[in-house]
A and B are shown apart, each in its own frame.
Chain A
Amino acid sequence: MTPPLAWYLGLSAVLFAIGVLGVLIRRNVIVIFMAIELMLNAVNLSFVALARSTGSMDGQVIVFFVMTVAAAEAAVGLAIILSMFRNRETTNVDELATLRW
């Protein structure tokens, strides 16, 4: 007895929405970064759920790609955050708003 596909997709949508909200409203860069990871994994969840229900392997393969990219992105992103912190002594995005007019 497995739950229907809609439940998986609904969970995925909720997780994605939480990720979006996190990116938009949190001020700490680390947390925003975590929210981005959450959005990626929400998408991964929809991929595997759909792959399972259609019996195709394509979705599962894409998930591996996404995980690889997410790992690389985490490495680069954390490095950027680290060097920003070394320069500016802060992880608050409101204070990191100099890239403008």
Chain B
Amino acid sequence: MVSETTWLRWIVALPALGVLFNVFVGRRAPGAVKLVGPGVVGAAFALAVWAALRRPEGGALHDHVYTWIVAGPFRAEAGLSFDALAMVMTLVVTGVGFLIHVYSVGYMHGDRGFARYFAYLNLFTTAMLILVLADNLVLLFVGWEGVGLCSYLLIGFWYEKPENAAAGKKAFLVNRVGDAGFLLGLFLVVATLGGHGIWTLDVATIQENRALLKDVAWLVCLLLFVGATGKSAQLPLYVWLPDAMAGPTPVSALIHAATMVTAGVYMIARLHFLYALAPAALAVVAVVGALTALFAAAVATAQMDIKKVLAYSTVSQLGYMFLGLGVGATGAAVFHLVTHAFFKALLFLGAGSVIHGLGGEQDMERMGGLGTRMRITFVTMAAGTLAIAGVPPFSGFFSKDEILWNACAGAFPVLGVIGLLVAFLTAFYTGRLFCMTFFGECRASEDVQHHLHESPAVMTLPLVVLAVLACAGGFLDVPGLLGGEGHEAHAPLAFMLLATALAAGGLGLAWALYVKWPGLPSLVAWRLGAFYRLVRDKFRVDELYDAAVVRPVFALAEVSATRIDPQLIDGAVNGAGRVVSATSGAWRRYQTGNVQHYALSFLAGALALLGYWVTR
């Protein structure tokens, strides 16, 4: 059941108005930015809650804003649809987004680009809301590109540093590779349905006519999945996300943990009816998800930068979500998306609080012993750590367990086993992060220790709210809300115990290595030798891409710039000029300017005509 409304558009419009305010008025009124920036997102959240209450049971709210594109028979509407999946996403985007906006007020306090920052952040929220609320794939693509753009803008927010600007560019370019696949997928859908006279990309219409797509479904799904690997940082296009940590920490929390990177998961969940037609594509999704989860979790165990650990952790957790999608557990995947948004935003904001307190320090080698000095951060981070590690009854336990159980019970139990291994690694690296930061001796310099302080209330309050959500989020029945396909089994008790044991084991190992015997890790690293260095260097994937893609492209550009352009292109243009000049140079000799020469040619012409007439 779908009921039409005309006010759903305001959920998107409010943050958009915030953008306009921050761009045009913000610079002159920084005080107002503090209120308007978070305020519009808070208002959007309130409206989303209102919409959630008004949504018909098992149905959707719909808002047709205007007819956007009419091109021959093809039509695209600017329409918003608020069904169960969109509702979950909208509440997460606006809710978690609001908390991060509030936190940002404290974190970005005094920054020169304060208004610019909030303009970008509001623009991001707008784009993400368009993405999740769009009722057709063309409009979804607008949001899809919008979040990519904002990601670029926010990663390179402190663009004075060249490496930040480079990280932004990298994110944009890698995303572009994925977007090309996404677009090709859309074209294929339009072409195939158009062949049957259905010229639209409306999701509901595609769902009704999905039988027509049966033959190309596998290709469509794989192309769309390429887009998802770009946006959601899966193998092989994950490389931009760890670099994206160059942006301000709240940005990492909002974009690179809680919302934007979930766009790929959301898109596949939205189109799961299409993926159901293509078991092969689903298997690819599951395998890529599982491998990404394992790969990123392994890398995360050896990173020293606190934000890098969390970044790889995000990649790994997104891998879980794709694993869930791949084994058909759409509800569980979206459930994990929600709980991950809570605890990962919490972990990032907590890390931001630590970095803030230490005056910009991100290296965990120079942290430690902060547990007593930053009480609130310590307690909230503990909640986040337990949640991501999957300790019951924290939120991560429930969502992760459902994915893992579905993977183990699915067609490829080996993926479930990989998932369990990742669960152990996850517990280990988050435990490591937590122990190195909050326990033991403080390894920061005297000067930094002197200035060490707990963050202001505007930052700690969102932490507390998120900590509550991370603790209790597991009791939300997201799969049930999405009308769970029925075959999503709940894990038996023995499986839960196994997962819990793995989580406890990982945390315990981290505690043993980094608190009890702090000398051990370097010994282990030394014994592992080359393998440890390989993991620490992130398996040198960036170097591989550099050699395989970036350098050849630069070499091609070099050849184009120094050889092809000046010699071939310019040569052709200049050559054409020279030919004309040479031929006309020969002809112009006949223009002597001497009238007698002209008269002679008159005479010759007259005689020739005369001769012609006489001899004819």
Residues of A within 8 A of B (CB): 20, 23-25, 32, 93-94, 96-101
Least CB distance, A26 to chain B, in whole angstroms: 8
Complex Cα distance A23/B599, Å?
A: 8
- CB-CB contacts of B558-599 with A at 8 A, as 1s and 0s? 000000000000000000000000000000100111111001
Answer whether residue B494 sits at the interface, using C-beta atoms and an 8 A cutoff.
Answer: no
Answer whether residue B20 sits at the interface, using C-beta atoms and an 8 A cutoff.
Answer: no
**Residue ID in chain B nearest A94 by CB atoms:** B594
Which chain B residues lie closer than 8 Å to A20 at the CB level? 603
Contact B599–A100 (Cβ < 8 Å): no
Contact A93–B603 (Cβ < 8 Å): no
Contact A97–B593 (Cβ < 8 Å): yes
Answer whether residue B493 sits at the interface, using C-beta atoms and an 8 A cutoff.
Answer: no
**Residue ID in chain B nearest A100 by CB atoms:** B593
Complex Cα distance A97/B596, Å?
A: 10
Partner of B594, one of A23, A97, A101: A97
Contact B591–A100 (Cβ < 8 Å): yes
Give the number of residues in B that approach A within 8 Å (Cβ atoms): 10
Contact B592–A97 (Cβ < 8 Å): yes
Contact B603–A24 (Cβ < 8 Å): yes
Complex Cα distance A93/B594, Å?
A: 7
Complex Cα distance A44/B131, Å?
A: 95
Contacts A24-B596, A24-B600 aside, 15 further interface pairs with beta carbons under 8 A come to A23-B596, A23-B599, A25-B596, A32-B596, A93-B594, A93-B596, A97-B593, A97-B594, A98-B593, A100-B591, A100-B592, A100-B593, A101-B588, A101-B591, A101-B593
Q: List 26 A-B contacts (CB under 8 A).
A: A20-B603, A23-B596, A23-B599, A24-B596, A24-B599, A24-B600, A24-B603, A25-B596, A32-B596, A93-B594, A93-B595, A93-B596, A94-B594, A96-B595, A97-B592, A97-B593, A97-B594, A97-B595, A98-B593, A99-B593, A100-B591, A100-B592, A100-B593, A101-B588, A101-B591, A101-B593
Complex Cα distance A93/B592, Å?
A: 12
Which chain A residues lie closer than 8 Å to B593 at the CB level? 97-101
Which chain A residues lie closer than 8 Å to B599 at the CB level? 23-24
Which chain A residues lie closer than 8 Å to B588 at the CB level? 101
Complex Cα distance A23/B595, Å?
A: 9
Complex Cα distance A97/B597, Å?
A: 10
The 7 residue pairs across chains A and B that have the minimum distance between CB atoms: A100-B593, A97-B593, A101-B588, A97-B594, A100-B591, A99-B593, A101-B591
**Residue ID in chain A nearest B594 by CB atoms:** A97
Least CB distance, B352 to chain A, in whole angstroms: 76
Complex Cα distance A100/B593, Å?
A: 5
Which chain B residues lie closer than 8 Å to A99 at the CB level? 593
- CB-CB contacts of B37-75 with A at 8 A, as 1s and 0s? 000000000000000000000000000000000000000
Least CB distance, B461 to chain A, in whole angstroms: 85
Which chain B residues lie closer than 8 Å to A93 at the CB level? 594-596
Least CB distance, A72 to chain B, in whole angstroms: 20
Least CB distance, A31 to chain B, in whole angstroms: 12
Complex Cα distance A99/B591, Å?
A: 9
Which chain A residues lie closer than 8 Å to B596 at the CB level? 23-25, 32, 93
**Residue ID in chain B nearest A23 by CB atoms:** B599
Least CB distance, A77 to chain B, in whole angstroms: 12
Which chain B residues lie closer than 8 Å to A23 at the CB level? 596, 599
Least CB distance, B589 to chain A, in whole angstroms: 8
**Residue ID in chain B nearest A21 by CB atoms:** B603
Complex Cα distance A99/B588, Å?
A: 12
Which chain A residues lie closer than 8 Å to B603 at the CB level? 20, 24
Least CB distance, B607 to chain A, in whole angstroms: 10
Least CB distance, B384 to chain A, in whole angstroms: 85
Which of A20, A23, A97, A101 has most B Cβ within 10 Å?
A101
Which chain B residues lie closer than 8 Å to A25 at the CB level? 596
Least CB distance, B587 to chain A, in whole angstroms: 10
Least CB distance, A76 to chain B, in whole angstroms: 16
**Residue ID in chain B nearest A95 by CB atoms:** B594
Least CB distance, A98 to chain B, in whole angstroms: 6
Least CB distance, B347 to chain A, in whole angstroms: 81
Complex Cα distance A23/B594, Å?
A: 12
Least CB distance, B602 to chain A, in whole angstroms: 9
Complex Cα distance A96/B595, Å?
A: 9
Which chain A residues lie closer than 8 Å to B595 at the CB level? 93, 96-97
Complex Cα distance A93/B598, Å?
A: 12
Complex Cα distance A94/B591, Å?
A: 14
Least CB distance, B139 to chain A, in whole angstroms: 64
Least CB distance, A63 to chain B, in whole angstroms: 21
**Residue ID in chain B nearest A98 by CB atoms:** B593
